[in-house]
Amino acid sequence: ATPTSIMVGTGRAAELGVLFKKGDALQILQDVDVVAFDKTGTLTEGQPRLTNIMVAEGFEESDFLRLVGAAETKSEHPIATAIVNAARRENDELPKPENFLSVTGYGVGARVEGKELLVGADRLLRQQGIDLAGFEDIAKAWAERGKTPLFAAIDGQIAGALAIADPIKPSTPSVIGALHKLGLKVAMITGDNQATANAIADELGIDYFSAEILPDGKVAALKSFAEQGLKVAFVGDGINDAPALAAADVGIAVGTGTDIAIEAAHVVLMSGDLAGVANAFDVSQRTMRNIR
Ligand code: ADP
Ligand code: MG
């Protein structure tokens, strides 16, 4: 490609809200086979809400939410924000958590009102030897509706389960359709559980997905495409997406994402609207066609 055509292409992309930090990403994009998306905050709004609670016998729903909400006050995860917001609506003040501990991709632990709380994915509780009996069916039903099920233990016993819903962005379905039309495959890489990821992938017509991926596993998931000789663009927003954004053939950061993600990426969308992803491919193909 001539420097002039690249300049014209990056200029046109900028008018469409897509910032190419370097011109070479515009060239590499036309060779991409797979577009892999992070889920939370990229395909979805990333502002989840608490939608369901089910407590074990002997627990009051209001006590449960107060304790779980208190345990989550020190976490910055969007899931924590959803739970804390719900707990604050019912309690003027939440008790202060002690000995707070957060394990990325698993959940949190804390002592609240003298009780030991654990809140997180099924694997967090199982790892601590806690039986989820009685909550597996409801969790499965929530997950099949695309919600994220969480479990909470109090003093080593399962005390209840919660469902979090994170709506899909309005721009997501049309972008996936546009990428398919361009002949690309679409993938999703998420830390969320298998059943929830499956429901969302089905709903959106996503070709491949990897679920229950811990933050340092996103780069490995991209490598498996490279091993098949496929070139990958990765689209993400979070701090934990930064390594994958840098490692992808083309890393595309969502404009509403964290500074660290934006710094690591080769291409930045100027807003949270995913239409820019399809526009980036479109401009790339037009630019490369003109010079041939
Ligand atoms: P994603 O890639 O979807 O952003 P994360 O790696 O951030 O996912 O989180 C993966 C999973 O870890 C969540 O779906 C949830 O089950 C659990 N988790 C993480 N942080 C918390 C928290 N603060 N409270 C409860 N569960 C959490
Ligand atoms: Mg994210």
Same domain, 40 and 179: yes
Q: Is 66 in the pocket of ligand 1 (CB under 6 A)?
A: no
pLDDT at 105: 87
For the CA of 139, the nearest ligand:
1
Ion ligand 2 — residues with CB < 5 Å = 38, 40-41, 237-238
Q: Whose CA is nearest to atom 22 of ligand 1?
A: 107
Same domain, 218 and 197: yes
Same domain, 285 and 173: yes
Q: Is 77 in the pocket of ligand 1 (CB under 6 A)?
A: yes
Q: Which amino acid is at 257?
A: G
pLDDT at 291: 56
CB 30 within 8 A of CB 249: no
Give residue 90's domain range.
49-165
CATH for 201? 3.40.50.1000
Confidence of residue 272 (pLDDT cuts 50, 70, 90): very high
Same domain, 104 and 153: yes
Pick from 146, 165, 184: which residue ends a domain? 165
Pairing of strands 232-236, 250-253: parallel
Q: Which atom of ligand 1 is nearest to the CA of 102?
A: 23
pLDDT at 104: 86
Same domain, 74 and 39: no
C-alpha span between 9 and 121 (Å, rounded): 44
Same domain, 68 and 155: yes
Average pLDDT estimate for 180-184: 96
- Would you give the end-to-end CA distance of the chain in angstroms? 8
Pick from 138, 165, 192: which residue ends a domain? 165
pLDDT at 279: 96
Pick from 147, 165, 183: which residue ends a domain? 165
Average pLDDT estimate for 101-124: 96
CATH for 161? 3.40.1110.10
Domain total of the chain: 2
Q: Is 137 a catalytic residue?
A: no
C-alpha span between 109 and 88 (Å, rounded): 19
Same domain, 226 and 273: yes
- This model of the complex carries an ipTM of 0.93
Q: Is pLDDT of 142 > 80? A: yes
Same domain, 219 and 141: no
Same domain, 219 and 175: yes
Q: Is 119 in the pocket of ligand 1 (CB under 6 A)?
A: yes
Instruction: Give me ligand 1 centre to Cα 57, in Å.
Output: 26
Same domain, 137 and 270: no
